[in-house]
Structure 1
Amino acid sequence: MANALDRIRVGSAPDSWGVWFPDDPQQVPWERFLDEVSEAGYSWIELGPYGYLPTDPAKLTDEVNRRDLKVSAGTVFTALHRGPDVWDATWEHVSQVAELTRAMGAKHLVVIPSFWRDDKTAELIEPSELTVRQWSYLTKGMERLGHEVKERFGLDIVVHPHADTHIDTEEHVERFLDSTDSGLVSLCLDTGHYAYCGGDNVKLIETYGERIGYLHLKQVDPEILADVVKNEVPFGPAVQRGVMCEPPTGVPALEPVLDAAQRLGVDLFAIVEQDMYPCPPDKPLPIAVRTRQFLRSCGA
């Protein structure tokens, strides 16, 4: 029997149902996502792209309560490395999502940096490496965001390293953590994205434990990843090739990651996210059921 992971609270997200956008004909309706995530045995969910789930707190509260679900976090996208000029537009987006997140009783806001290449066309939007000035904008901007979000909404921001963004590799993630105030900025460690970018998840948890504020559980298919890296395939097409795969068939092994997280001695959300946009509507539920059973076998 696996060790009981009593500090880990497992959930899932619209992403595991192939949902990347607020509204898209290739995605399942939100009612079906809520029905199926509950049926699969999860009790926690994220809001996903703002506008996919109902944005009226009373309606959403009613819908999640009826299915015995609770919300762990909202998600925002930011481009703070572009400097003070983007602050107002960023804050408008953030406060909208933070308002709903707080109303749902959640305590976390997952912050995803902007992509440097288009995830559909692969067109370069900007260089993949930031200048010294842009790094300063990014780190100071995230600290300001952490401060404002805590002050105004009582939420903690958790910054999500992500493929094809400027916070991706071990080097970039460590530089980001070393350059930001631990009181203002924590990390949402996505096990799949970090492995996708060549990082060692267990090492990061053991080295920067006090900065890990949230987990996304995900695995990559090493064979597909090798081809993706070799041919510089952008993230969107890589997902369509199946680079993010069903656990426990990929890397990193989740048992050691969960054990390392449990050893931190703090309560952590671990939200399953298997990127598979777009996908057939009947594909997600069986995967979600098997993944929940697998995580139970790990003690979570």
Structure 2
Amino acid sequence: MAIIVAGAPVSFGVFELTPDGDDLRLPTADEVLDVLERTGYAGVDLGPVGFLGRGDELRKRLDRHGLELAGGWVDLPFTDDDAFTGALPALDDALDVFADAAEAGPSKLPLPTLADSGDATRKANPGGGAGHVLDADGWTRLARNVGVAAERVRSRGFEPTFHHHACTFVETPDEIDTFLDRTDVDLTFDTGHLLIGGGDPLEGWRRWSSRINHLHLKDVRVDVLRDIVASKGGMIDVWSGGTFVPFGEGDLDIAAVMDAVVASGYDGWLVVEQDVYPRPGDDPARPERDSRTNRDALRRWI
């Protein structure tokens, strides 16, 4: 068994939905990787495609900081056939970057992390979509298109993983069950998004551990989340409202979850994520402080 701990650009406010603004300064790729190197991580998630560079630039950057690429987010509109076909070049572009990183011969290959794009209604209703769910035809489309994407990933020498995610059509425990029943793609298990979807991380790990090939670990303040959902806030409100916090400040029983992860014999990447929605005036020292806190919280096990 070998669990390897990675960090992620999203913990520094760098992700696909980072807000624009001239008064908002985000860290560079080297600044992110420098913090992860100093605070004891062995890998990094991709972040937005291109953020870490491509080709030699990517490989040299990872090597310079002693890090490997753990995985990377690729969301696709799996329930809309035409939109899905139109989005496949974006998947191919991301796979090019994974291939660039793999040329360095890492100890573990990165996992292209597929996810559903959801729709406007799901995005506006975290926690299960307020009854807006897929019918039988919708699940057939999603499973068929996931199969197409998975074959594309495997043809490039990688194994796909699928991220259940808030505000998508694979969010709740029942939706995760249906996804796993209908596809051969294993799961990115995300403790934070499972809490948002109404699940229990410890129960979820025990329920799906045989189908989990990637782990995203994050802590959540459930009271903040419930207030946002009750006030009809969307996913941006979840990110910007202080829902995701350093380990020990939220409701994740990290000791119980990590005991279960280790006992199960999990062998793979553990990506620490503390989703941060950046704002002007944020404390510039916070990312390194929180990265260290989160990494230190895992040293009992890894």
TM-score strictly above 0.5: yes
1:290 to 280, 285, 293: 293
Letter in 2 for 1:158: T
- Range 219-228 or range 260-269, more displaced: 260-269
> Retained in 1: the 8 A contact 2:189–2:212?
yes
| Matched positions, count | 287
> Retained in 2: the 8 A contact 1:119–1:235?
no
> Retained in 1: the 8 A contact 2:125–2:167?
no
Partner of 1:116: 119
Counterpart check, 1:255 vs 2:255: yes
Shift of residue 242, structure 1, vs aligned partner: 0.3
TM-score (norm 2): 0.88
Shift of residue 128, structure 1, vs aligned partner: 3.2
Cα distance per residue 1:37-80 (max 9 Å; x no partner): 111211110111112221x2101111111111111112211111
Residues 98 and 115 from structure 1, CA distance in 2 versus in 1: closer, same or farther, beyond 3 angstroms? same
> Retained in 1: the 8 A contact 2:172–2:199?
yes
**Partner SS, residue 233 of structure 1:** coil
Please list, as runs of the form range in 1=range in 2, the aligned pairs for 1:1-300 lying within 5 A after superposition.
7-21=2-16, 24=20, 26=24, 27-54=26-53, 56-83=54-81, 85-105=82-102, 106-117=109-120, 122=124, 128-151=132-155, 153-181=156-184, 185-279=185-279, 280=282, 281-297=284-300, 299-300=301-302
Unpaired runs of 5+ residues, structure 1, are: 1-5
Letter in 1 for 2:93: Q
Shift of residue 285, structure 1, vs aligned partner: 0.9
> Retained in 2: the 8 A contact 1:36–1:285?
yes
**Partner SS, residue 120 of structure 2:** coil
> Retained in 2: the 8 A contact 1:117–1:234?
no
Residues 204 and 123 from structure 1, CA distance in 2 versus in 1: closer, same or farther, beyond 3 angstroms? closer
Residues 126 and 77 from structure 1, CA distance in 2 versus in 1: closer, same or farther, beyond 3 angstroms? farther
Query: Identity, % of aligned pairs?
Result: 27
Q: Which runs of 4+ in 1 moved over 6 A?
A: 123-127
CA distance in 2, matches of 1:224, 1:123: 15
> Retained in 2: the 8 A contact 1:80–1:142?
yes
Shift of residue 127, structure 1, vs aligned partner: 8.2
Unpaired runs of 5+ residues, structure 2, are: 103-108
- Range 153-162 or range 231-240, more displaced: 231-240
**Partner SS, residue 251 of structure 1:** coil
